[in-house]
Amino acid sequence: MATILLVDDIEDNRKLLEFDLEDDGHKVLEADSGPAALELLKTEKPDMILLDVNMPGMSGLELLDILKKDKKYQSIPVIMVTANDMDEEITAALDKGANDYVIKSSSHLVLAARMRTSLRLKKSQDDLRRANKYLEILATTDGLTALYNRRHFFELSKKELSKARRYSRPLVVAMIDIDHFKKINDENGHDGGDKVLIEMAKRMRSCFRESDIVGRIGGEEFAVCMPDTDIDSAMLPLERVLKAVSGEVFSLSRVHRERVVNVTISIGFSQLIEEDTELTKAVRRADAAMYQAKNNGRNRIVEYSG
């Protein structure tokens, strides 16, 4: 059911609890001291910790303090196990972030009920964390291609721009646009167009480094921000993208028919210059270069030249 870590210096106490907990279907881990518990937590991820207050060396409260201050462990619910119901001990434990406490002499039914409450709370907190993570992904990525969306592309790239300016490091912005995308859509339907965009994103992503920011910023328009990259070193990945797209047909198989499309792209790029106090200036130059690439016959790369 759940994995429970028992921390108690007395073996008999652990065995007694272990027996009941395993009876309830839990998996039980044991540690006979605070340091032993911390060692075990490096490799194990219990759903809950039952922690004896009175232990020689590191006390239960000291261990609780360490756990609740550590990001890795602070979300694990802790139930303190005390020998008596001394107010100071209990309030100190709750203040430090313990979820609950039980007294050693109380029945197992009471402990089991309190554990259920804490596990329920932990589960809803985990669910909430997952939901928030999901919302964050929705807010920052393009739903179709899973690349960064326009807003997030600009947000991340602006940070790179200020870093580049602060440390006088080069940075390149590139605009990439699919050639004749309207025709692709007209001939293959929006389904087909979407498939091209998805496949396009996949091929693009594989051509750039982890540190490059790749976004879909419009319908068939993509942008890449390459930190620590100058004009010369930008050419290699950009040529790679050009070939990755035009070098192999895009397959738009449907249930009854095999269909392939030749896709090409036009790329314009520009390096960061002293006057670029805003990202949009570099983006505008890259965009102008991209239109130049279109005018020069498409399926090519053009570097911005004033």
CA dihedral 203, 204, 205, 207 (to 10 degrees): 90
Alpha helices in 70-167 (DSSP H): 87-95, 108-140, 150-166
# chain residues binding Mg ion, by CB under 5 A: 4
Q: Which stretch binds Mg ion (CB under 5 A): 5-13, 61-69, 227-235, 249-257?
A: 5-13
Considering only residues 149 through 188, tell me which ones interact with Mg ion, judged by CB under 5 A. none
Q: Measured between alpha carbons, how far is 182 from 187 in angstroms, rounded to an integer?
A: 9
Q: Are strands 213-216 and 171-178 parallel, antiparallel or unpaired?
A: unpaired
Distance between CA 266 and CA 177 in Å, rounded?
Answer: 5
* Single residue of 9, 20, 221, 228 touching Mg ion by CB under 5 A: 9
SS3 for 201?
helix
CB closer to Mg ion out of 55 and 263: 55
Smaller CB distance to Mg ion: residue 9 or 228?
9
Residue matched to tokens 């395993």: 22
The minimum distance between CB 104 and Mg ion, in angstroms, equals 9
Q: How far is the CB of 19 from Mg ion (least distance, A)?
A: 18
- Residue (31 or 226) nearer to Mg ion, CB: 31
The whole-angstrom separation of Cα 227 and Cα 134 is: 27
* C-beta of 9 vs 155, nearer to Mg ion: 9
The nearest distance, CB 5 to Mg ion, in angstroms, is: 15
The Cα 246–Cα 262 span in angstroms is 7
| Cβ partners under 8 Å of residue 154, min gap 6 | 215, 217, 279
Residue 32 sits in the site that holds Mg ion (CB under 5 A) = no
For the window 41-80, what string marks contact with Mg ion as x by the rule CB under 5 A?
A: -----------x-xx-------------------------
Binding site for Mg ion (CB under 5 A): 9, 52, 54-55
